[in-house]
Structure 1
Amino acid sequence: MRIVRVIGLAAAGALLLGAAGCGSSDSLEDQASGGSSDSADKGTVVVGGQDFTESQIMAAIYQKLLENAGYTVQTKLVTTRDVYLPELSKGSVDIVPDYLAGITDYLNAEKNGPDAPLVSSNDPDETLAALEPLAKAEDISILPPSEATDQNAFFVTKDFAEQNDLTTLSDFAALGQTIKLGAPPDCEGRSDCEAGLTKTYGFDISQIVPLDFASAQVKDAVKSGEVQMGETGTTDGTLEDLGLVILEDDKGIQPAQNLTPAVNSGFLADNPDIEDMFNQLSETLTTEDLAAMNVQVDLERKKPEDVAQQFLQDQGLL
């Protein structure tokens, strides 16, 4: 997953705690709002997460569900997992939307060191089984993941795919072409990027052209032929209009990144009613839903809270 750790735990903890006491912060957004369909206020819930479009939408969905159930909600969106997961463990944050393999690999590295072998895989059930004991040790409870997933993905132009009858990465690799890949510099050596493409699929990559993940620049580079393939996410809803198409990861080099509610265990024990609420959400949410909502925010310039409200109403969850 594109979410990476970029600051140490001590600095991250200080950042979150310091920002929580301020009205605003460049790296921390606090939003408090009341209002509920219930007459009784069940108390305050702190929803955490990261500050990018998809996470903003998911935090808004969580907020509206909780408010509808009678809770007052404060939202804290930050830069990295290094900030919000320690606070989730301590109970300063109560619930976050997270990604299955992302949180698994983070907690595994925190426990066993940054060079520890990965325990996530492209199998959601196996990854969840590896995650649960790691999370339990940190006083974090993992609710059932949704079908919705946002994995790294690789795309080409639609014209190139149609001309060569390509639908999968294996199809492209079988052409035997030397290619340039548009991707962030950390793609090199990663099993879900350059190493997986070359070792698992057999691609001959002559150069990784350093272009940001899912950026307009990497899409332009693929369209112009500067690179033959680029990296984005599976919920990128902009590709079709640009004449681009994702090739299926048919050999499974991407780990399972299903959207998963992670809850402070003490908070869940005190508020067991939220489990049903979030299980219903996870049973409903699909990858297509995520892509459609991302487009509404990124391209149509709608507010995440308005997109969240409409989605929940359409699904009968409000």
Structure 2
Amino acid sequence: MRVRRSILAMTAAGVLLLVSACGEAGSSDGDAQPAATQDATEEPMATASALAACEPVAGDALVVLDDDQGLQTVDNIVPAVNAAAIADDAALLPLLDELSATLDTATLISLNKAVDVDRQTSSQVAAAYLESSGLGVQDQVGNGTRVVVGAGNFSESATLAELYAGVLRAAGYDATTQTIGNRETYLPALESGDLTVVPEYVGTLTEFLNKTANGADAATVASSDLVATTTALTGLGEAAGLVFGTPAAAQDQNAFAVTQAFADEHDVSTLTELAETCGGIVLGGPPECPERPFCQPGLEEVYGLDVADFTSLDAGGPLTKAALQQGQIAVGLVFSSDAALAG
């Protein structure tokens, strides 16, 4: 999602999941919701096919429609920490939790924009954020303890790693960052203690550990329920020698976007409203979208959205965003923390 964590990492592992960006970051099982019942004397309920087609509307600004029925799996940012490395260090995890408490998705989008659009470095962006949020000054509890913060090979992970390292340095830790490629590379380093902490994603990591421990055909345990998914992650992490902080509100998950002009014209802000308002939708996304339950089938079965046509593009990348902005598609699969959503 750039080389993204969810597409390449999970594909390389051979465990392409429902929690992936059309390959990893997430979905629920995509089963259809129960049909509404009505009295036989009432007027027939409107169906998607009876609705007028909503043509794409070009515009530069993009907006994500709220997944109000929980089609996607949660993917909140969470510190993943080597359990042995902090067994005798009660101060490290609370510092990371204090940082996580300040991060919501809008903030993450802003941080990504500063790096991906404004071309600042991740370290510059992290330093400015810690200063502005008051986290750059901490009680000196680290006593010079060496901490290595790992990062995946994409800019969002690098920025989060710099935030983790920065708040720990402010508290007196000897904290450095190290980029170590994809999850198949950095997770063993975290489990062995070569890395101390890595910024992770709740749903994605839950399913990665689940499939690693229980096989590629293991039943999915991540869902749209953050509490239940975090509970599953905690148990799986314990077996792998990992502990986790409190998940941030910030998420980087699959999402469906329209142009702001489209949302304004049709007065829609949720996927339910879209399905109740518009028929004949042109959907864009990665080639596998028509087959993935968190993509086109989920939109049709969970929301009852009338997808008239599908345009094969990419997974939340420049092709999809350009097609939205140019009015070639009405709805496109993006990632919820994408810098393009900053407006």
Shorter chain as normaliser: what TM range? Answer: 0.5 to 0.7
Q: 1:89 aligns with which of 179, 191, 199?
A: 191
The answer to whether the aligner puts 1:218 opposite 2:218 as a matched pair is: no
CA contact (8 A) 2:142 2:168 kept: no
- How far is the alpha carbon of 1:98 from its aligned partner? 0.7
CA contact (8 A) 2:278 2:306 kept: yes
- How far is the alpha carbon of 1:237 from its aligned partner? 4.1
The answer to whether the aligner puts 1:238 opposite 2:340 as a matched pair is: yes
- How far is the alpha carbon of 1:238 from its aligned partner? 2.5
Q: Which runs of structure 2 are paired with 1:89-238 in the superposition (5 Å)?
A: 89-175=191-277, 177-238=279-340
CA distance in 2, matches of 1:210, 1:77: 32
User: TM-score by structure 2 length?
Assistant: 0.57
Q: Residue type matched to 2:197 in 1?
A: I
State the number of aligned residues: 216
Q: 2:12 aligns with which of 7, 15, 27?
A: 7
Q: Which deviates further from its counterpart, 124-133 or 80-89?
A: 80-89
CA contact (8 A) 1:209 1:227 kept: yes
Q: 1:207 to 1:87 in 2, by over 3 A?
A: farther
Q: What is the aligned-residue RMSD (CA, Å)?
A: 2.7
- Which ranges in structure 2 are unaligned for 5 or more consecutive residues? 15-122, 124-136
- How far is the alpha carbon of 1:198 from its aligned partner? 1.9
Q: 1:210 to 1:76 in 2, by over 3 A?
A: farther
CA contact (8 A) 1:180 1:205 kept: yes
Aligned to 2:179: 77
Identity %: 35
1:31-62 Cα shifts (integer Å, max 9, x gaps): 9xxxx985985332121121222211110011
CA distance in 1, matches of 2:243, 2:142: 26
Aligned to 1:299: none
User: TM-score by structure 1 length?
Assistant: 0.61
Q: 1:102 to 1:53 in 2, by over 3 A?
A: same
CA distance in 2, matches of 1:78, 1:8: 16
Q: Which deviates further from its counterpart, 69-78 or 82-91?
A: 69-78
CA contact (8 A) 1:6 1:80 kept: no
CA contact (8 A) 1:3 1:80 kept: no
CA distance in 2, matches of 1:109, 1:122: 18
CA distance in 1, matches of 2:239, 2:308: 44
- How far is the alpha carbon of 1:177 from its aligned partner? 2.1
Q: 1:59 aligns with which of 149, 156, 161?
A: 161
Give 3-state SS (helix, strand or coil) of 1:93's partner. coil
- How far is the alpha carbon of 1:160 from its aligned partner? 1.9
CA distance in 2, matches of 1:144, 1:40: 20
CA distance in 1, matches of 2:180, 2:206: 19
Q: Residue type matched to 1:3 in 2?
A: S
Q: Residue type matched to 1:216 in 2?
A: P
CA distance in 2, matches of 1:185, 1:118: 23
- How far is the alpha carbon of 1:126 from its aligned partner? 0.7
Q: Which runs of structure 2 are paired with 1:273-288 in the superposition (5 Å)?
A: none
CA distance in 2, matches of 1:125, 1:78: 29
1:175-228 Cα shifts (integer Å, max 9, x gaps): 452333221234343332223112211223355433233333212211222222
1:81-112 Cα shifts (integer Å, max 9, x gaps): 11111221121211011111111111111112
CA distance in 2, matches of 1:163, 1:188: 27
CA contact (8 A) 1:185 1:208 kept: no
Q: Residue type matched to 2:245 in 1?
A: L
Q: 1:220 to 1:117 in 2, by over 3 A?
A: same
Aligned to 2:144: 42
CA distance in 2, matches of 1:49, 1:186: 28
CA distance in 2, matches of 1:186, 1:82: 23
- How far is the alpha carbon of 1:240 from its aligned partner? 5.6
CA distance in 2, matches of 1:46, 1:192: 35
Give 3-state SS (helix, strand or coil) of 2:172's partner. coil
- How far is the alpha carbon of 1:144 from its aligned partner? 1.4
CA distance in 2, matches of 1:79, 1:8: 13
